[in-house]
A and B are shown apart, each in its own frame.
Chain A
């Protein structure tokens, strides 16, 4: 697994008077196995940062480097292929497909990469087991609790054995107890598999459990306690 570096990233939306500086010269680097919490008020640029690392947005300036290689100058098609192979995404909303069962939502990931193999099925099964979802494998999202859904979403993000996990407020819709449960599982996976993880959160107590944290204010890095 490789080191993830974010170097002097800036992102401007729009031009002239309506221009927004969503990110302004943001830098950090993460060793394999490290979880970075990104804190900051609403509109401070947290989601923009995740989107740029995922290749969903182009930075106006700066570069994203994985294991010494820049990864940010990709066409949408290349970026999609990169995400399928190296990135695990957990959205603020779970974004599970409502007509698929928990197990099928996990298998969607290898399906999008081509073909579902026996190995993928085994992996889906063991992930669901690790996340305490064996009994729920055949249930559709509508039949799951909020915490269960978010656990399925995290399990789905791990299906492709990503190098980079990008997580946007995974616990925003959960109570503290279930939020901690999801975070605990996520942290264990990141350490065990030596991934790098950037997690956006509003919750300072969550941030305390991370290996490092970063506070954004108006798109700039601000000093933090951690």
Chain B
């Protein structure tokens, strides 16, 4: 009763503090959504590859950009004990022209298994030569299903037959093509569309030499074989890892995720401090009142429960404000921005906010305990 009456008695004071804590909560929510968005945006196309293991060329530090496997490499992998199925995954960088603007994108060649791509628009069949299934964030660049988009400066084009989702790489949309198209684009973009005089052949012959090869190999293992078993067989000529681990490697990902998580933790601590200090000062301001209520016979437990109740109400209001703000600012972000709210992670952040508030309340508990009810009789309060 006391706690809520007091809240209602000073609405302005408590609303302001709820707003401040709400802003801090929204910051942690945004950070959590953005770190999630950062991970999917940076490595979605790599981390979601349907495979038990990914095999990279040796000494490439799991970099998709540097790895290249020959036909012979692919054969070696295919014949390794414990390997059930292998398909090649090709990677290339392209620039796409849309509405007079040029944006960067990544090509992913798939040697089959196109059914791993969730289709959000267009046909679900595998792309033929010169066709592509494209991450839906390309829509924001002005592309639509059915468009044929020129690639620059390599004088090629791709026809978009469908949109998929959650498949971005280094913040650019992935274009999924068949392996022949990949090999052509890989060579063309490596040679920037020019026939290199001393390269020993035309782009056509170059890309023909890539036939049967890939950037990396996606491997399914037989039952009972582990990724470590495969690594033991293939290293050091190759690097072996899981898609999830590959996603965390390279492109500065570990540092980025660490930075975003650190901001989240710091903002949580600030929130705890704000709540803790606010209630501590409130308690100090009410020393006389608290002494009087104690003199009337209120127990410390009762007073602490009232404080906790106030904190819970306040933090709940703040959480509501924070989530509304986070969702509001999230929905006004362009889809290419890294924003990917995850209910699970938000719940964890919320739990952390409540926990921190609880820790903050312990300061006030200390001062509640130290107030001597005898002072109520003597000390005049003005």
Residues in B with CB closer than 8 Å to A97 are 2, 6, 289, 293
Name the one of A54, A109, A112 contacting B377, with C-beta atoms under 8 angstroms.
A54
Judged by a CB distance under 8 angstroms, whether A212 is at the interface is no
Query: In the assembled complex, how far is the CB of residue A194 from the closest CB belonging to chain B, in whole angstroms?
Result: 22
Is B374 a contact partner of A112 (Cβ separation < 8 A)? no
Contact A99 B8 (CB under 8 A): yes
* Residues of A in contact, count (CB < 8 Å): 28
Contact with A along B293-309 (1 / 0, CB 8 A): 11111110010000000
Select which of B8, B295, B298 is within 8 A of A54 by beta carbon: B295
Residues of B within 8 A of A111 (CB): 1-2
- Would you call A112 and B380 a contact (CB within 8 A)? no
Q: Which residues of A contact B198 (CB under 8 A)?
A: none
Say yes or no: is A150 at the interface (Cβ < 8 Å to chain B).
Answer: no
The binding surface of chain B is classed by DSSP as: helix
Query: B292 to A95, Cβ gap below 8 A?
Result: yes
Chain B residues within 8 Å of A100, by CB: 2, 5, 9
Q: Does B115 contact A (CB under 8 A)?
A: no
Q: Mark A35-62, 1 if CB is under 8 A from B, else 0.
A: 0000000000001001100101100000
Tell me whether A84 and B296 are in contact (CB under 8 A): yes
Would A91 and B376 count as touching, CB distance under 8 A? yes
A77→B369 CA distance, assembly (Å): 13
Q: Does B101 lie at the interface of the complex (its beta carbon under 8 Å from any beta carbon of A)?
A: no
Q: Does B378 make an interface contact (CB < 8 A)?
A: yes
Contact indicator A83/B297 (Cβ below 8 Å):
yes
- B337-381 interface (Cβ within 8 A of A): 372-374, 376-381
Q: Say yes or no: is A1 at the interface (Cβ < 8 Å to chain B).
A: no
Q: What is the bound-complex CA distance between A223 and B288, given in angstroms?
A: 35
Interface residue? B10 (CB, 8 A): yes
Question: Given A95-B381, A99-B5, A99-B10, A56–B296 Cβ distance below 8 Å?
Answer: no
Contact A112 B295 (CB under 8 A): no
Q: What's the Cα separation between A89 and B295 when bound, in Å? A: 8
Binary contact readout A113-148 vs B (1 if CB under 8 angstroms, 0 otherwise) = 100000000000000000000000000100000000
Most buried by A among B295, B297, B379: B297
Find A95's partner among B297, B298, B376 (CB 8 Å cutoff).
B376
Contacts of B296 in A (CB 8 A): 83-84, 89, 108-109, 112
Q: Determine if B377 and A80 form an interchain contact, defined as CB atoms under 8 angstroms apart.
A: no
Q: Which of A76-91 contact B (CB under 8 A)?
A: 77, 80-81, 83-84, 89, 91
Within the complex, the shortest CB–CB distance from A131 to chain B, in Å, comes to 18
Given A84-B297, A99-B6; A91-B377 close (CB under 8 Å): yes
Check if A5 is an interface residue, CB within 8 A of chain B. no
Distance of B279 from chain A, by nearest CB (Å) = 16
Shortest distance from the beta carbon of A128 to any chain B beta carbon, whole Å: 18
Q: Which residues of B contact A (CB under 8 A)?
A: 1-2, 5-6, 8-10, 288-289, 292-299, 302, 372-374, 376-381
> Which A-B residue pairs are the 6 nearest by beta carbons?
A99-B9, A84-B297, A95-B292, A56-B374, A83-B297, A80-B297
Residues of chain A having any CB pair with chain B under 8 Å = 47, 50-51, 54, 56-57, 77, 80-81, 83-84, 89, 91-93, 95, 97-100, 104, 108-109, 111-113, 140, 168
Given contacts A54-B377, A83-B295, A99-B8, 9 further A-B contacts (CB under 8 A): A77-B299, A93-B288, A93-B380, A97-B6, A97-B293, A99-B6, A99-B10, A100-B5, A168-B377
